[in-house]
A = this chain, B = another copy of it.
Amino acid sequence: MMRATLVACVTLASGAAFPQAPPPKPLSTAELLAASKPEDWRQLDPANTLYLELASGRVVIELSRHYTPEHVAAIKLMADAHYWDGLAINRAQDNFVVQWGDPDGVRPQEKALPNLELPLAPEFTRPVSKDLPFSALPDVDGWAKTVGFTDGMAAARSGPQQWLAHCYGAVGVGRDNAADSGHGNELYVVIGQSPRQLDGNVAIVGKVWRGMELLSSLPRGTGGGLGLYEKPEQRAPIKALRRASSVPAAERTNLEVLRDDRPVFAQFVEARRNRTDDWYLHKAGHIDVCNINVPVRDVK
């Protein structure tokens, strides 16, 4: 009487040929990935990758190459200046976000970053164009006309605008009420049910590819109904937040992500949409863009 596995392990499809063979069983996701080719994967660019170093380990964030150029440039400037080192994660709101930055105003950007030009453009959405990649899903979405992926990051499109979607692991820029009040130094990561109501209201600058569990398992804060840590000692200190390219090669976490513009990606999504293992008695026939955990692995 096992039942310790809510979702059963993958059953390998039999390769045996019968005289009157049943239709071949669709490949499982494990089988699909095992059969993928090196060119189906995209390696993260160290110059475009952040390491958030916590006492518990490393969180690997890729910055978007397409949606928020001003914010990404500002964040690179800040990382290279060690702006966040010694600051802390000061907010963990259950089923919503964790957030870090300078809530006490101890590190004014204008002093720490004389080269940073503020304010930043809002960059909440971006015009659809042939230079803005988008691998569309056929699945309906309530928040946008179409959903899909750009560089493996969940994205959405309605009319002439496209944007990165607030799915689990999305990294966004906190702001006040004014559209241009997000200065790139207050960053948050989605740790719960996708808060898609934030779509189009915030600049999403990237995605966590590894280490989400270090953020999602932080104790929740109790302040202000916002998950703020009420005492400074509850905060999770940031040892360093820097670009991978500034870290010695031997100390890097080299990751590659399944390319969303390859046939194997569509096959992978289909295998998640209609699960192939025997545990599923009812196949969903649908998948939400935020339910697709895009495969990521260590570069061999």
Q: Which residues of A contact B (CB under 8 A)?
A: 1-9, 90-92, 94-95, 97, 99, 101, 103, 105, 108, 124, 139-143, 167-168, 172, 174-177, 179, 181-183, 185-186, 188, 192-202, 212-213, 216-220, 224, 226, 228, 272, 275, 278-282, 284, 286-288, 290-291, 293
Chain B residue contacts of A167, Cβ below 8 A: 193
B95 touches A212 (CB 8 A): yes
- Given contacts A168-B95, A197-B291, whether A179 and B124 have CB atoms under 8 Å apart is no
Chain B residues within an 8 Å CB radius of A197: 272, 275, 280, 284, 287, 291
**Bound CA–CA A2/B175 (angstroms):** 8
B228 near A4: Cβ-Cβ < 8 Å:
yes
- Partner of A218 from the list B141, B217, B228 (CB cut-off 8 Å) is B217
- Looking at chain A's contact residues, is the secondary structure mostly helix, strand, loop, or mixed? loop
- 15 A-B pairs (CB sep. < 8 Å): A1-B176, A3-B176, A4-B101, A4-B103, A4-B226, A5-B174, A6-B97, A6-B175, A8-B176, A95-B293, A143-B286, A193-B194, A197-B284, A197-B291, A213-B220
Q: Is the CB of B174 within 8 A of A3?
A: yes
The distance in angstroms between the C-alpha atoms of A2 and B174, with both chains bound, is 10
Question: Are the CB atoms of B293 and A4 closer together than 8 Å?
Answer: no
Partner of A95, one of B2, B91, B176, B216: B216
CA distance A288 to B226 in the complex (A): 21
Once bound together, how far apart are the Cα atoms of A152 and B195, in whole Å? 19
**Contact partners of A213 in chain B: CB under 8 A:** 94, 219-220
List residues of chain B with CB within 8 A of the CB of A1. 105, 108, 176, 181, 183
Which residues of chain B come closer than 8 Å to A183, judged between CB atoms? 1, 3
Across-interface contacts of A199 in B (CB, < 8 A): 282, 284
Evaluate contact between A94 and B212: CB separation under 8 angstroms.
yes
Task: Contact check, A177 vs B8: say whether CB atoms are below 8 A apart.
Answer: yes
A9 to B177, CA, bound (A): 10
Of all chain B residues, which has the CB nearest A220?
A: B213
Instruction: Tell me whether A3 and B168 are in contact (CB under 8 A).
Output: no
Chain B residues contacting A103 (CB-CB under 8 Å) are 2-4
- Distance in Å from the Cβ of A292 to the closest Cβ of chain B? 10
Is the pair A168, B192 in contact by a Cβ cutoff of 8 Å?
Answer: yes
Assembly CA distance A6 to B90 (angstroms): 12
A142: shortest Cβ distance to chain B, in Å? 4
